[in-house]
Amino acid sequence: MRPTNLNMDVLRTLAKAVELGGFARAGEQLGRTQSAVSLQMKKLEEQVGRPLFRKEGRTLQLTDAGDIILGYAQRMLQLNDEAIAMSRAVGLAGSVRLGVPPDLAETWLPSALAQFSRLHPNIHIEAHVDRNVRLIEQTLKSQLDLSLAFGDGGDAPRQQVAELPVRWIGRRSERLDLRQGVPLVLFDQPCFFREIGIEALEKHQIPWRLAFTSPSLAGLWAAAEAGIGISVRTPLGLPKTLSVLGADTGLPVLTDTVRLSLYAAPGQAPPAITRLRAIMLETLSNAVRAIRAG
């Protein structure tokens, strides 16, 4: 009996359809019609000999067989992309200057840099951790090659990476007496996270006080871990010692979101920067998906 060889192109379509939540969105990103994507998935089901999707309302969910195929597809695609990247990386050298906000420096950045340096060991990486406004300014002045930053960035050209929820952050065991005023642990001004939190409390006529301010995110996390107060951030890059605080605390529900965008220095990017950009987008997509799943 001849072995069945799964098509890498079809597996990539499957992974993209699951990531984006539908055949139509996957088709748009991959340059195919929805019917073409549907036909690919039907052929994949025929190869596997099992249905991969089940319909729940208007959405498609993976069957148990679909979950298994997706897991293997992701591993196979990673190996495929690594093989291509490694073969193209022979002789690739140079340097890249990368800027990231502190939210990403301790959690996402190490894994992204590890993947990049494994594929491109001859490229020198210079990383800068700073606040959003500074990162955008430095990138537009070509002092940085790439930067990630929260907020809209004005008229600066950028690629939106994700739309992230803004949440109250504190210790898992946090207990608040709202009558005594909410102790806040916040960045120095200007900071849009600070503005979102204070505005929500004042709108609901909940008293508050500044318990701790710092220009450093590490300082905010340390104060929150010590129980000095609570903060306002996104769940991306959250330390394991802290968690998102729920409605049971009595705090007003935050409905705001914030954009995470990728900025690039003007001009044609050399291959080293193009490769780093691709890995950044891939690893960030995985991190954001993990937040939404959790």
Surface-to-core class of residue 227, CB atoms within 10 Å of its CB (0-12 exposed, 13-18 middle, 19+ buried):
middle
CATH 3.40.190.10 maps onto the chain at: 91-164+259-293, 167-255
The pLDDT assigned to 1 comes to: 58
pLDDT at 170: 93
Whether the CB-CB separation of 170 and 197 falls below 8 Å is answered with no
Q: CA torsion 210→211→214→219, rounded to 10°? A: -150
Per CATH, domain 91-164+259-293 is 3.40.190.10:
yes
In the chain, residues under CATH classification 1.10.10.10 are 8-88
Q: What is the pLDDT of residues 215-244, one digit of tens each?
A: 888 899 999 999 999 999 998 888 888 999
Residue 89, pLDDT score: 57
Question: pTM of the predicted model, to two decimals?
Answer: 0.66
**Residues lower than pLDDT 50 in the chain:** none
Tell me what pLDDT residue 294 has: 57
In this predicted structure, what is the pLDDT of residue 93?
67
To the question of domain 167-255 being in CATH 3.90.1150.10, the answer is no
Q: So what's the pLDDT on residue 292?
A: 66
Q: At the topology level of CATH, where does 8-88 sit?
A: Arc Repressor Mutant, subunit A (1.10.10)
Q: Is the peptide bond before 190 cis (omega within 30 degrees of 0)?
A: yes
The two three-digit tokens of residue 117, written as one number: 């340096």
Distances (CA, A) of 266 to 141, 147, 151, 263, 270: 8, 12, 20, 9, 12
The per-residue pLDDT for 221 is 93
The pLDDT, as a whole number, for residue 232 is: 94
Which helix (DSSP H) or strand (DSSP E) does residue 65 occupy?
helix 64-89
